[in-house]
């Protein structure tokens, strides 16, 4: 199916004309739906006519949230080139590796990075567009353009670009790489529109024209899934560039925020702040969390502090929609079944096909643990330039998630672990997530990472690194005993150390591979 997104946006701008669509907190920019439509028409004109980007050409964004909000939807859908997303916080070496893989013709860059990145980008033959006013010296450099100079000179007229929503590759995005170097996922327009649809299907998330959603995680990642339903409902997307939870609390209070998307590690920090110094969160109706599992014990504390406003969403880079949702009503602990459901990812979004398979792809009965496989509108078109990985991870239209889990008799999906994070100790399977949840049930524990480390007898031994809450005290022996009591002796950590912090990705996932690497260094392998 072909669509013209200038027309789509024109109709939205007529419907919501003077309502706020985009608010950039740090840069103090505010755009109504009508202003946003005209601005993104100009951006699309710059891409197509000024910079000369056409079908199959690529442009990369190395940007923070304020500027991403102008360069993602709908700008990318109003022209024919493919946008490439990357993590602003990744090192330049990683950006260079990604650029060499996709070879963008243009890179949109935060101005403060220009001096560091210039030689590398020009060496790759890229034109550079800086988003804020460059210095006089920077502006004279070959291949450097100023975003607002280009935009101010562009046309805001609706264009006649029509794109095939299933075939056109609108976006490339690199996987998180929590188990190794990221692959490059290819998205059609239909893949991205699935994020909108799943937000509406999951009615408990309550996306309406009164929604005011603040993005503090990178909108190039998980929180993007809340951008689309907010926008199409006529709500306002507000952006923050820095993960400053005290500033986030201020914004929630002053901007009367209704929604936000956070990851568990950030929610734990927010809980501590709110308990120590409460602020007015009466406008806040929905906190969506995802990207990593959360301890049921910590969930109980969060609900007690903030109320029943939490929704958990299960998704992935390869399936960028809410595959499963744990609704607000499920965030309670007044019965044994309710407590059990708190450790799940919720129920499958209606219309999505999820099944649990054995290693040969055969469906397993409810209650049995195996690999989670998914078929839906959001499943990506494969990995760019990597047919081997595409063939390996997609089978018969289904994405082989690499997550181990099961579906219970009530239809709740449980994520047991990543397949690569399973520890085999003395012939027994130990799931890191399960051990981490047991450790996190202790009030002194802020977060934990569990990995397998080399052991001469068992092959691998269960090891834990633990971060304590500020001012809290507990011994390693007490935590190991707690885990033994909850899970049994073979699943309990054989060793446990306290650390000041754990390595996390840009979206807040604990990087177990980083914890694990130091213990297996020089061994030539990473399993027992």
The residues facing 415 across adjacent strands are 405
Q: What is the pLDDT of residue 340?
A: 84
The mean per-residue pLDDT over the stretch 37-60 comes to: 98
DSSP 8-state secondary structure symbol assigned to residue 364: P
CATH class of 188-418: alpha beta
Confidence of residue 176 (pLDDT cuts 50, 70, 90): low
What is the full DSSP assignment across 376-416?
A: STTB---BTT-HHHHHHHEETTEEEEEEEEEE-TTSBEEEE
Helix (H, G, I), strand (E, B) or coil at 457: coil
pLDDT of residue 451: 93
Handedness of CA 435, 439, 445, 450 (dihedral sign): negative
Band of residue 236 on the pLDDT scale cut at 50, 70, 90 = very high
Across the range 282-294, mean pLDDT stands at 84
Residue 425 has pLDDT above 50, yes or no: yes
Strand partners of residue 62: 109
Cα distances from 460 to residues 181, 405, 430, 437, in angstroms, run 24, 22, 10, 20
> CA-CA distance, 461 to 179, in Å (whole number)?
19
Beginning with the edge strand found earlier in the chain, give each strand of the sheet holding 106-109 in spatial order: 144-146, 127-130, 106-109, 58-62, 82-85, 169-174, 184-188
Instruction: For 262, list phi and psi in degrees, rounded to 5.
Output: -135, 160
Q: Which structure tokens are listed for 138?
A: 């920077």
CB contact burial 425-451 (16+ within 10 A = b; e otherwise): beeeebbbbbbbbbbbbbeebbbbbbb
CATH topology of domain 34-161: Rossmann fold (3.40.50)
Give the integer Cα–Cα distance in Å for 153 and 46.
9
Name the token pair of 452. 């397998």
431: DSSP letter? E
In this structure, which topology does domain 426-520 adopt according to CATH? GMP Synthetase; Chain A, domain 3 (3.30.300)
Burial 210-237 (b: 16+ CB within 10 A, else e): ebbbbbbbbbbbbbbbbbbbbbbbbbbb
The residues of the chain that CATH labels 3.30.300.30 are 426-520
Write the pLDDT tens digit of every residue in 7-32.
999 999 999 999 999 999 999 999 99
- SS3 annotation, 160-218: CCCEECCCCEEEEEECCCCCCCCCEEEEEHHHHHHHHHHHHHCHHHCCCCCCEEEECCC
pLDDT at site 428: 76
Over residues 400-404, the mean pLDDT reads: 91
- pLDDT in the model for residue 180: 46
List the one residue out of 425, 459, 452, 435 whose CA is nearest residue 518: 452
335 contact partners, CB below 8 Å, separation of at least 6: none
| Confidence band, pLDDT 50/70/90 cuts, at residue 68 | very high
User: pTM for the complete prediction?
Assistant: 0.86
Can you say whether residue 138 is alpha, beta or left, with left for phi > 0 and alpha for psi between -120 and 50 degrees?
A: alpha
Cα-based angle 34, 35, 36 (whole degrees, multiple of 5): 90
Q: What is the pLDDT of residue 522?
A: 66
Is the model's pLDDT at 293 over the cut of 60? Answer: no
Q: How far apart are CA 99 and CA 58, in angstroms?
A: 10
- What proportion of the chain, given as a percentage, has pLDDT over 70? 95
Q: How confident is the model at residue 86 (pLDDT cuts 50, 70, 90)?
A: very high
Q: What share of the chain is helix, strand, coil (3-state, %, to 5)?
A: 35, 25, 35
* pLDDT value at residue 338: 84
Least confident segment among 92-101, 295-304, 428-437: 295-304
Residues of the chain with CATH 3.40.50.12780: 188-418
Collapsing DSSP to helix, strand or coil, 32 comes out as strand
Distance CA 96, CA 124 (A): 9
Of 327, 292, 315, nearest in space to 378 by CA:
315
Which tokens is 125 given?
């033959």
299/304 Cα distance (integer angstroms)? 9
């Amino acid at each position: 199916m072909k669509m013209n997104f200038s027309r789509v946006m024109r109709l939205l701008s007529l419907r919501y004309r003077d309502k706020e669509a985009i608010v950039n907190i740090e840069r103090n920019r505010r755009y109504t739906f009508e202003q946003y439509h005209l601005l993104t028409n100009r951006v699309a004109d710059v891409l197509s006519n000024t910079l000369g980007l056409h079908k199959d050409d690529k442009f990369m964004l190395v940007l923070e949230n304020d500027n991403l909000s102008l360069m993602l939807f709908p700008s990318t859908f109003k022209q024919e080139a493919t946008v490439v997303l990357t993590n602003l916080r990744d090192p330049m070496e990683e950006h260079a590796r990604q650029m060499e893989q996709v070879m963008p013709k243009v890179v949109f860059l935060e101005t403060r990075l220009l001096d560091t990145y210039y030689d590398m980008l020009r060496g790759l033959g890229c034109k550079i567009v800086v988003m804020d006013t460059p210095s006089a010296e920077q502006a004279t450099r070959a291949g450097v353009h100023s975003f607002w100079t280009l935009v101010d000179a562009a046309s805001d007229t609706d264009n006649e670009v029509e794109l095939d929503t299933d075939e056109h590759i609108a976006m490339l995005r690199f996987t998180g790489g929590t188990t190794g170097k990221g692959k490059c996922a290819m998205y059609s327009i239909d893949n991205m529109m699935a994020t909108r649809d799943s937000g509406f299907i999951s009615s408990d998330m309550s996306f309406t024209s009164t929604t005011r959603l603040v993005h503090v995680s990178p909108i190039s990642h998980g929180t993007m899934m809340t951008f689309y339903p907010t926008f199409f409902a006529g709500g306002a997307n507000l952006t923050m560039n820095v993960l400053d939870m005290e500033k986030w609390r201020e914004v929630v209070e002053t901007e009367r925020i209704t929604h936000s998307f956070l990851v568990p590690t950030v929610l734990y920090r927010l809980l501590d702040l709110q308990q120590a110094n409460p602020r007015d969160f009466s406008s806040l109706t929905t906190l969506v969390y995802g990207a990593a599992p959360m301890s049921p014990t910590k969930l109980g504390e969060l609900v007690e502090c903030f109320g029943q406003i939490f929704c958990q969403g299960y998704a992935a880079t390869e399936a960028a929609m809410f595959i499963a949702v744990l609704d607000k009503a499920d965030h309670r602990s007044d019965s044994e079944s309710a407590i059990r459901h708190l450790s799940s990812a919720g129920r499958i979004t209606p219309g999505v096909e999820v099944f649990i398979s054995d290693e040969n792809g055969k469906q397993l009965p409810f209650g049995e643990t195996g690999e989670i496989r998914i078929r839906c509108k959001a499943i990506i078109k494969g990995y760019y330039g990597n047919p081997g990985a595409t063939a390996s991870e997609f089978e018969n239209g289904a994405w082989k998630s690499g997550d181990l889990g099961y579906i219970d008799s009530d239809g709740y999906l449980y994520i047991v672990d990543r397949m690569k994070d399973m520890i085999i100790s003395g012939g027994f399977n130990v799931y890191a997530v399960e051990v981490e949840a047991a450790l996190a049930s202790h009030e002194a524990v802020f977060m934990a990472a569990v990995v397998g480390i080399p052991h001469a007898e068992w092959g691998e031994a269960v090891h834990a690194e633990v971060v304590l809450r500020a001012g809290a005290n507990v011994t390693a022996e007490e935590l190991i005993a707690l885990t033994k009591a909850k899970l049994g002796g073979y699943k309990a950590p054989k060793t446990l150390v306290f650390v000041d912090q754990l390595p996390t990705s840009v979206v807040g996932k604990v990087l177990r591979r980083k914890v694990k690497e130091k213990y297996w260094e020089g061994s030539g392998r990473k399993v027992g």
